[in-house]
């Protein structure tokens, strides 16, 4: 039996969530939006995603209320994609997936996620072990780890070589 194109016949919240975010590129677009990527060319350069696929994912994520399209330039017209509260709510999912991969496959740490207030690395559930609080996304600092390429080709990866808070817009080099 072949896998269908949707999960319409299933009565399952996970199946419903996969309808929205279960496509290969979608979670990576959301991850980049959490890192502060907002502009089409920055998504394109960092992800290495085909243009048509990126345009389709951005349109779908906007339609679902996960990203919001905002005009930042009138002539020529240019838009950016800002993550919404609905998109920010996916942070624990993305963090857990990355942590699972690193732990199950003994991967070298690519990034550290720390509490901005005290610098402590977040625990398994996004909590600060020192402050005993679940850290809001805006108070998470992402630091490069030893597994990152120290000389990446794309401007987003270069920007992510310095510690920065999640959600802050990436100021990348021109593409």
- Model's pTM, two decimal places? 0.91
Q: Does 169 score more than 50 pLDDT? A: yes
- Alpha carbons 85 and 33: distance in angstroms, whole number: 12
Residue 175: what pLDDT? 42
Q: Does 34 score more than 50 pLDDT? A: yes
> What would the mean pLDDT of 41-50 be, rounded to a whole number?
95
Render pLDDT for 106-118 as a digit per residue (tens, 0 to 9).
888 899 999 999 9
Render pLDDT for 122-159 as a digit per residue (tens, 0 to 9).
998 999 999 999 999 999 999 999 999 999 999 999 99
Q: Does 38 score more than 50 pLDDT? A: yes
């Amino acid at each position: 039996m072949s896998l269908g194109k949707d999960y319409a016949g299933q009565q399952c919240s996970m199946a419903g969530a996969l309808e929205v975010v279960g496509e290969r590129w979608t979670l990576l677009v959301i991850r980049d939006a959490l890192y502060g990527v907002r502009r089409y060319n920055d998504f394109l350069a960092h992800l290495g995603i085909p243009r048509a696929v990126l345009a389709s994912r951005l349109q779908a994520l906007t339609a679902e209320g996960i990203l919001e399209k905002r005009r930042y330039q009138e002539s020529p017209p240019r838009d950016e994609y800002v993550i919404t509260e609905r998109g920010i709510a996916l942070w624990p999912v993305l963090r857990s997936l990355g942590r699972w991969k690193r732990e199950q496959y003994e991967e070298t740490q690519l990034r550290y996620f720390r509490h901005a207030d005290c610098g402590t690395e977040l625990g398994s559930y996004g909590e600060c072990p020192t402050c005993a609080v679940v850290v809001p996304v805006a108070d998470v600092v992402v630091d490069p780890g030893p597994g990152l390429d120290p000389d990446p080709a794309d401007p987003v990866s270069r920007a992510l070589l310095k510690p920065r808070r999640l959600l802050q817009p990436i100021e990348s080099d021109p593409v």
